[in-house]
Structure 1
């Protein structure tokens, strides 16, 4: 049970304790010889009520921003209910408390023990009634509760302090967590590319797109990379060219890829020959379960560790041994799948498996396609489960560039979707830069949307088109390298700023040029677009100040200074990545959140 769940139990226990004390108070007031003790009883009740309110405030602070306001109210009214045990809420609170999570758990456990001990000393009954004799015992020994009340007060005060300080530091910690997540995502993106490359080496000229998402994972300093990796999932679209000689057509399918869990660190212990057959799981044959060994004490000489353990076994000791063996056997069922997956060494033919799944008339929902493997590392390899996602068969992809050129007039981009796309694209640039998924200079030609017949396309995921064929091993060069050197700008950030301008204005920079356009740089180069962007920046400012600030920082900000690029790593530098996230992505996400509330 987590500390937050215990806090809910405490909130539900204090009113019961107060009710018992109120019964004591009523009894004391009826006895003339003990009337002088009534004030102290009321004081104890008031102190418990105060601590309950303070603990309620602590729980509310932890929940604000993590769950809807209406849900907070229902949780406070039903402390210790099912909502307090939700795994998602527990993980979010764990991330909010950061390294103080274990301390929080210890403190609230002490508070609960004090509450339980006070209930025990009061001798509370289920029906809430107490005898006159117990009232007398309470008044005669009232000092026995001072130590417990001190524990409760100090514990709640410490919880208040921990909660306040950690919530104050949460924004900066969230940025650091995102930077750590981006580092993990970049490693996974490279690994996924290699795994997909090996599984699609069939010469069918597949195109591939990766879904762009606002991926967020609650990360604390104690979390290992492997736990985070196993929580992440990626969606892709894979194209196939029909083999028709008359009119070849390209069809698309959607797949979900998720890393397989690592195998167990050590083999399970073999079961003891003295196991109780009644405690064995169904994994064991029935004939073994029918054997009933006689329970008796034995005496033998200690020639080995096993015989020594057997000779000292009692009924209590046998129970403990049987329990540990049962737990070990029970864990076998949960780890068997990961053991089987760890023994797979050959990647699937994804193209062939997708065709089989698509042709299966009984396929419903997501269907497993097998496992793909990245064998880039010499000693270990990363394995991924691949699932075919059920999707309408007649969907196509539409590029952002075509939309901005107004060649598809049926799909104008609404303002909230413009802000959403800006936030997601900028976030994914930090996730996937320096990987095969992102070109050196990003533009609207690489952004695609799924088009179906059921609603606006911007509510569907959008994808970053692969920049080069899967079978190519040579990195693509930047065609605009000369212009980038003249501008002394990071091409990734500069191209992001230019794309953001096009997105918020709903037009390509080519269509925004006046006259013959700038002649300093080659037409279509980053430098050529940069000059056009400077002339339209006032129009961006009228849309949103946060958006304008993010754009300016991408094309003219300190991110391009020689200091930031001195180490030669660019966005691979965690310090620069953190600055870009807080100075660009966070501003765009805030704009989108505000627009969502406005247009809700």
Structure 2
């Protein structure tokens, strides 16, 4: 038994066959003198049916967008009798999208199918929906034998039924999509998001602790690379104030010599005690006294923390080694002594909120002399940097902006030179992007000079999000923004030229990247969140950015791959 969904495919395949037959008959009319009086109205019939076929195809495109992957859409529509139309999962997704309109929708498609069958019978087509003769020169002979009508008026009622059905289908489709968007927006507004505030606070605490941890006399500026994570499913809701909300620890790579010195060491290689080390880092928070906690407020919160304290106490920390000097501690790591936990600044809790527990990788890094770092700028043109990797990075960068904004790890005016990848064994780990910080011998962090952008503040409401929008454009096109400029973008100031280019590409992206990705880019470039607030410190604005950018990019990635 043919289902309603399969019928939609049958109609999609039937109308082009009817059109092909009508066009074949039109050629026969053109060579049959006695039938020439029907030529104009027959051609008019063809035009009307072509229009209805286009409307039906466009309606199906709207209906299937988001259900059928873009890369599969052309094949899906080109094979209306294929097995894909018969899959139960496909029918289930349509049912979910159409909701209460599902059965009226399928009934209307049934009317369309009945109308195409009537067309076939009136045109005397065979069971394969083709004319019963193949030579238009014999049209007169078969016209008399088969007795099919050449009068347009004899087909007007069928075309009228098709037109009304098409109109109903289009209306139900657009209504379903609008309702789906409204429901999605409403659901997004009520859904919890990761507690980015706590992640942000801990990232700040990590930097503060690391800054105090390089108490060495090395003639080198050490580097710490912080791996960027999407953390979309990490932790509890943004409404929770639970400090124990990070499921995944920070992952870092310690570098003996920071960026510029990594390739040109200031000391002989044999005098370098270590080069690279990987580790997971857990933040430890200073607990208040029992009395203070009891007086601080909510009993439920206190009970929760008490349970976690008991759990932490029962969980052993192997080979805990308190340290004050990271460089010295890393240099003492040996293959047989890697199952340790380095407790940095454990004796300084009274001075700061966080200490850190460093768990070195149990497998020592190998061939570190051949390791190198590459910036996003340097790999944009790399053919090995696949579309999937680019879109995955887009999600990670968007989420990382919410995690690291206003911390030393990510400047407001960040860009493709700040996003790094590590190349090992000749391969670039595109799924593990990093940001990097340099800690010099005095413990102070070296930062790049920030270019003044005050002149653009009236246009760019949030520089961090604007930088994300630029990165998203560059990731999609696989080119730096400067390579995408046109003469019309040129302005007196470079910053304005960049803005003009980005502003133009926002609109052009819709024709290439699809709605979700393009919407995310538009919101970042124009800070278009329908809110007065534009600071990521504002909880409501942060939520809007998550749902309007991060979630959209993630949905786009999941749909495409």
TM category (shorter chain) comes to 0.5 to 0.7
For residues 6-59 of structure 1, the C-alpha deviation after alignment (integer angstroms, 9 at most, x for no partner) is xxxxxxxxxxxxxxxxxxxxxxxxxxxxxxxxxxxxxxxxxxxxxxxxxxxxxx
Does the 8 Å CA contact 1:546/1:591 hold for their aligned counterparts?
yes
Any idea what SS the aligned residue of 2:355 has?
strand
| CA–CA separation in structure 1 for the residues paired with 2:403 and 2:197 | 7
Summarize the Cα distance change of 1:197–1:458 in structure 2 as closer, same or farther, 3 Å threshold.
same
Q: Does 1:244 align with 2:267?
A: yes
Q: Determine the structure 1 residue equivalent to 2:223.
A: 207
Q: Does 1:590 align with 2:552?
A: no
Q: Of 271, 280, 283, which aligns to 1:259? A: 283
| CA–CA separation in structure 2 for the residues paired with 1:248 and 1:535 | 53
Does the 8 Å CA contact 1:191/1:374 hold for their aligned counterparts?
no
Does the 8 Å CA contact 2:226/2:252 hold for their aligned counterparts?
yes
Q: Determine the structure 2 residue equivalent to 1:431.
A: 403
| CA–CA separation in structure 2 for the residues paired with 1:434 and 1:521 | 26
Q: Determine the structure 2 residue equivalent to 1:573.
A: 538
Q: Determine the structure 1 residue equivalent to 2:524.
A: 554
Does the 8 Å CA contact 1:392/1:452 hold for their aligned counterparts?
no
Q: Determine the structure 2 residue equivalent to 1:458.
A: 430
Q: Of 378, 384, 396, which aligns to 1:402? A: 378
| CA–CA separation in structure 2 for the residues paired with 1:509 and 1:333 | 49
| CA–CA separation in structure 2 for the residues paired with 1:375 and 1:333 | 19
TM-score (norm 2): 0.54
Q: Determine the structure 1 residue equivalent to 2:157.
A: none
For residues 406-465 of structure 1, the C-alpha deviation after alignment (integer angstroms, 9 at most, x for no partner) is 3xx4x5321111110001001000001011100111210011112122756223x11012
Any idea what SS the aligned residue of 1:504 has?
helix
Q: CA deviation at 1:558?
A: 2.9
Q: Does 1:227 align with 2:244?
A: yes
Summarize the Cα distance change of 1:368–1:218 in structure 2 as closer, same or farther, 3 Å threshold.
same
Any idea what SS the aligned residue of 1:177 has?
coil
Q: Determine the structure 2 residue equivalent to 1:489.
A: 461
Any idea what SS the aligned residue of 1:495 has?
helix
Q: CA deviation at 1:475?
A: 7.6
Does the 8 Å CA contact 2:503/2:525 hold for their aligned counterparts?
no
| CA–CA separation in structure 2 for the residues paired with 1:332 and 1:444 | 42
Q: Determine the structure 2 residue equivalent to 1:196.
A: 210
Q: Determine the structure 2 residue equivalent to 1:350.
A: 326
Q: CA deviation at 1:205?
A: 0.1
Does the 8 Å CA contact 1:200/1:351 hold for their aligned counterparts?
yes
Q: 1:540-551 to 2 correspondence within 5 Å? A: 540-541=509-510, 542-551=512-521
Q: CA deviation at 1:369?
A: 5.0
Q: Determine the structure 1 residue equivalent to 2:201.
A: 187
Does the 8 Å CA contact 1:369/1:386 hold for their aligned counterparts?
yes
Summarize the Cα distance change of 1:402–1:261 in structure 2 as closer, same or farther, 3 Å threshold.
same
Summarize the Cα distance change of 1:574–1:457 in structure 2 as closer, same or farther, 3 Å threshold.
same
Any idea what SS the aligned residue of 2:451 has?
coil
Any idea what SS the aligned residue of 1:425 has?
helix
Q: Determine the structure 2 residue equivalent to 1:388.
A: 360
Q: CA deviation at 1:586?
A: 0.6
| CA–CA separation in structure 2 for the residues paired with 1:488 and 1:381 | 34
Does the 8 Å CA contact 1:438/1:467 hold for their aligned counterparts?
no
- List gaps (5 residues or longer) in structure 2: 1-183, 258-264, 292-309
Q: CA deviation at 1:378?
A: 5.0
Q: Comparing 509-518 with 548-557, which one deviates more in the overlay?
A: 509-518
Q: CA deviation at 1:483?
A: 3.6
For residues 73-109 of structure 1, the C-alpha deviation after alignment (integer angstroms, 9 at most, x for no partner) is xxxxxxxxxxxxxxxxxxxxxxxxxxxxxxxxxxxxx
Q: Comparing 531-540 with 578-587, which one deviates more in the overlay?
A: 531-540
Q: CA deviation at 1:556?
A: 1.5
Summarize the Cα distance change of 1:468–1:554 in structure 2 as closer, same or farther, 3 Å threshold.
farther
| CA–CA separation in structure 1 for the residues paired with 2:347 and 2:354 | 7
RMSD, aligned α-carbons? 3.8
Any idea what SS the aligned residue of 1:558 has?
coil
Any idea what SS the aligned residue of 2:546 has?
helix
| CA–CA separation in structure 1 for the residues paired with 2:348 and 2:536 | 24
| CA–CA separation in structure 2 for the residues paired with 1:484 and 1:332 | 51
Q: Of 504, 507, 520, which aligns to 1:535? A: 504
For residues 328-366 of structure 1, the C-alpha deviation after alignment (integer angstroms, 9 at most, x for no partner) is xxx79945968997xx9x743111111221xx2435xx6
Summarize the Cα distance change of 1:384–1:169 in structure 2 as closer, same or farther, 3 Å threshold.
farther
Q: 1:57-206 to 2 correspondence within 5 Å? A: 171-174=188-191, 176-178=192-194, 181-202=195-216, 203=218, 204-206=220-222
For residues 556-595 of structure 1, the C-alpha deviation after alignment (integer angstroms, 9 at most, x for no partner) is 243496x214xxxx11000110111111111001111112
For residues 302-332 of structure 1, the C-alpha deviation after alignment (integer angstroms, 9 at most, x for no partner) is xxxxxxxxxxxxxxxxxxxxxxxxxxxxx79
Any idea what SS the aligned residue of 2:408 has?
coil
Does the 8 Å CA contact 1:350/1:369 hold for their aligned counterparts?
no
Q: CA deviation at 1:380?
A: 5.9
Summarize the Cα distance change of 1:369–1:375 in structure 2 as closer, same or farther, 3 Å threshold.
closer
Q: 1:303-382 to 2 correspondence within 5 Å? A: 334-335=313-314, 347-357=323-333, 360-362=334-336, 367-368=339-340, 370-373=342-345, 378=350, 381-382=353-354
| CA–CA separation in structure 1 for the residues paired with 2:404 and 2:355 | 20
Does the 8 Å CA contact 1:439/1:467 hold for their aligned counterparts?
no
Q: CA deviation at 1:218?
A: 4.5
| CA–CA separation in structure 1 for the residues paired with 2:447 and 2:497 | 25
Q: Determine the structure 2 residue equivalent to 1:323.
A: none
Summarize the Cα distance change of 1:489–1:454 in structure 2 as closer, same or farther, 3 Å threshold.
same
- List gaps (5 residues or longer) in structure 1: 1-166, 268-330
Does the 8 Å CA contact 1:208/1:239 hold for their aligned counterparts?
yes
Any idea what SS the aligned residue of 2:345 has?
strand
Does the 8 Å CA contact 1:236/1:256 hold for their aligned counterparts?
yes
For residues 286-314 of structure 1, the C-alpha deviation after alignment (integer angstroms, 9 at most, x for no partner) is xxxxxxxxxxxxxxxxxxxxxxxxxxxxx
